[in-house]
Amino acid sequence: MILTVTLNAALDVTYQAPGIDWNGVNRVSAVHRRAGGKGVNVARVLAALGQEVLVTGLAGGPTGRAIEADLRAAGLPTALCPIAADSRTTLAICETTTPVTPDVATPEATPGVAGGGRTALFNEPGPEVTPDEVQNFLTTYETLLTSAHVVVISGSHPRGIPADFYATLAAVAAGKGVPAIVDADGDPLRHAPKGRPRVLKPNADELARAVPGGGTPAEGARALRGRGAQAVVVSMGAEGLLAVTEEGTFTARMPYAVQGNPTGAGDALVAGLALGLLESSPWPDTLRRAAALGAAAVAAPVAGDFDRDVYAAIHPHIVIT
């Protein structure tokens, strides 16, 4: 079982509209409302790939109840810990374009999908969590790890969570022999290597903030490894992936850019990394699958989904060096 941790769970609302007037009134062509947060998105992708998952984290108030109801409706098993404050809502506004189906035989073509224009994200900060609620979650987490083979710890902290809490969660997992992936930004990312996670997964901007003056992405990734992370995988958008690991440094290059909604692409990528850990796959295979899942998620209209046709089209053409 793969356990995903989402401390700042959200109700994700996505508006799709053609040719958005960013200074005027727009008619929304489609609305999607679903439970979200980075760990929830990872769990959705893994479940779609046929993996056993369990979603844990924090949820409270009317929004928290809506999140739990949506997860139940999606058939995703949960062990969310209650909090008194209301969980957050996020909003994504996506400008749609005309869909174009990717051609497997011509990988140089650039596929477009509905949602292929600009995307604006509005993320609420999240609820205030009390020390007792933090301790209750930690106790639950330790229990859930006894049945987990991999744990994914991802997303932002709600208010009241210690800055080094992801390092604590990673260290607890390591003590129980469960490899942890941490996908975070800011202070949680800077502290995370102390917990010796199996994988840290920043994007290029997050890496630059975590290692200011760190030079190239490879140098920054090596700096995080030097602080305790066993491997660092940096997502670089259309440029692919950089992985600095105990087995060496790898790059995964994309054959073409996929147009669409980038929200959730990093979460799909993390799902691929988690599956690689679960199956003890070689790094080249893990990175190729992770990069393809990230690209396929861009082609899906909402976070937590991926386009299987895009995945099949792009996976064989990703170049690993």
Residue-wise pLDDT for 48-75, tens only, equals 999 999 999 999 999 999 999 999 999 9
Res. 16: pLDDT tops 90: no
Render pLDDT for 211-245 as a digit per residue (tens, 0 to 9). 988 789 999 999 999 999 999 999 988 788 999 99
Domains and CATH numbers, the chain: 2-8+36-87+128-320 (3.40.1190.20)
Contact 155, 7 (CB under 8 A): yes
Report which of residues 121 and 147 the model is more confident about: 147
**Structure-block tokens of residue 250:** 């790898």
Q: How many CB atoms lie within 10 A of CB 77?
A: 14
Three-state SS for 139?
Answer: helix
> Exposed/middle/buried for 98, CB within 10 Å: 0-12, 13-18, 19+?
exposed
> Distance between CA 66 and CA 87 in Å, rounded?
10
Which of 48, 46, 40 has its CA nearest to residue 66? 40
Distance of CA 215 to the CA centre of its chain: 25
Q: Which residues are bridge partners to 12 per DSSP?
A: 34, 90
Q: pTM, whole model, 2 decimals?
A: 0.86
The 3-state DSSP composition of the chain as helix, strand, coil percent (nearest 5) reads 40, 25, 35
Sheet with 248-253, edge to edge strand ranges: 78-83, 53-60, 2-6, 150-154, 180-183, 199-200, 232-235, 241-245, 248-253, 319-320
Sorting pLDDT into bands at 50, 70 and 90, what band is 257? confident
What is the residue type of 102?
Answer: P
Least confident of 26-30, 62-66, 83-87, 204-208: 26-30
Number of neighbouring beta carbons within 10 Å of residue 198: 20
Distances (CA, A) of 95 to 113, 124, 178, 224, 264: 11, 21, 41, 36, 16
CA separation for the pair 258, 237 (Å, rounded): 10
| Structure confidence by residue, pLDDT tens digits, 168-205 | 999 999 999 999 999 999 999 999 999 999 999 999 99
Q: Which residues are catalytic?
A: 267
